[in-house]
Structure 1
Amino acid sequence: MASPHEAFTHRTATRGDIAALSTVIDAAIGELQKSFLTPGQIIASRQIMGLDTRLIDDGTYFIIERHGAIAGCGGWSRRATPYGHNASANRDDRLLDPRTEPAKIRAMYTHPAYVRRGIGRMILALCEEAARKEGFSRLELTSTLAGAPLYHACGFQDVARLTDSSVPIILMQKIIEPKGF
């Protein structure tokens, strides 16, 4: 029997992908949050969510494709910025210490046409393996309400429930084994 992921491929994003990624991110924010947020909160989401091109420049942002179409994207960071886009106020490019701080899972989006096909799990697996190789033993992310079921299913636990610009978010963590253990 064929794997459900067989038709999907992955690669590291480049600056040349930014326009296509922006389209996927816009669709995901606008469509996938409708069951969880008010229209006003979705508008506010666009102010706190989006693509941070530092992830692309650091080589830690992945694209999942099917027949050349972007099905989803997401990445991880060895930097302290918890979430947001290039213009977010909470940016912190400080490098994290993998011995004492968690790697950050960042900017996870699935195109609405590809939901429930394992895209998020594929990205999380890529991120976890890459962070593990760099010696991190914990992952941390800031989840939307729409993303929380996936992250819970993948072993993340709630740390705190917060609000940013009227948008409810959840700080979550997961313990992973660093490479060599």
Structure 2
Amino acid sequence: MSAKVACVSTGFSHPHAKALSEPSDSLAARHDLPVDSSASRCLIRSARPEDAEALQAVHTAAVSAVPAHIYPPEILNAWRDSISSLRMSSYMADPGLLFLVARHNGAAVGFGCLEGRLIRAVYVHPGHCRQGFGQALLQALEKTARKNGFKCVFLRASLNAAPFYVRNGYTDLGPGEFDLCADLSMPCRRMAKAV
């Protein structure tokens, strides 16, 4: 039996994590994007400060749903605990990041973040997996990168999420590492897609 995979990209934790792309330009164009997902209707919009607590809860739930055979407990615990609502708020306030939230029936069900041509995060609450929310967030981030003049986007996928990205047209560039804290990193897959 396969477990629901809730986290679809890594990108938030240690502030000195190595990036796969060049530094970004400011992502000033922020607006609401109504999106038809495959099974439901959702609204994707720029995240607001009042979303921080709900998005931190999405992050915690998503990482908590990652099967234990994929990463050892010390990695899962550090990854899960790496984001506080305060830290989430600081990410949302960064003018170099486009931070989107997916809402369904009035609730935050996922979020994504873009920095230049680097997709830093796509997370979906495990109770809302396989309903098209992750794909809708991913497409909105890709569209923004394309509108900002980038021909290709990059990301680091958690091992549980790599198949999601392959299904969405990404090329696996090989193994990578993502720094969780000063002395702990997690294996990931480096990926890219022409947009």
Give the structure-2-normalised TM-score: 0.69
1:82 — aligned with what? Answer: none
Tell me how far 1:163 sits from its aligned partner: 3.2
- Report if aligned partners of 2:37, 2:132 keep a CA contact under 8 Å in 1: no
In structure 1, the partner of 2:100 is 62
Q: Secondary structure at the match of 2:65?
A: helix
Query: What are the ranges of 5 or more consecutive residues in structure 2 without an aligned counterpart?
Result: 1-35, 179-183
Which residue of the other structure, out of 152, 161, 164, is the alignment partner of 2:166?
152
Distance in 2, Cα, partners of 1:47 & 1:138: 31
Q: Which residue identity is paired with 1:26?
A: T
Please tell me whether residue 16 in structure 1 is matched to residue 50 in structure 2: yes
Cα distance in structure 2, aligned partners of 1:128 and 1:26: 24
How far 1:6 sits from its partner (Å)? 3.8
User: What CA distance in whole angstroms lies between the structure 1 residues aligned with 2:191 and 2:72?
Assistant: 23
d(CA) in 2 for partners of 1:55 and 1:3?
24
Could you say which structure has the greater relative contact order, defined with CA pairs below 8 angstroms and 6 or more residues apart?
A: 2
Q: Aligned pair count?
A: 151
- 1:175 counterpart letter in structure 2: A
Tell me the residue number matched to 1:172: 191
Query: Structure 1: where are the runs of 5+ without partners?
Result: 79-102, 177-181
Aligned match of 2:24: none
**2:160 paired with 1:115:** no
Question: Once the two structures are superposed, what CA deviation does each residue of 1:20-39 show, in whole Å capped at 9, x if it has no partner?
Answer: 11111111111134352222
| Cα distance in 2, alignment partners of residues 105 and 9 from structure 1 | 19
164-173 or 121-130, which deviates more: 164-173
Retained in 2: the 8 A contact 1:9–1:65? yes
What's the % identity of the aligned pairs? 29
The two structures have a TM-score, normalised by structure 1, of 0.74
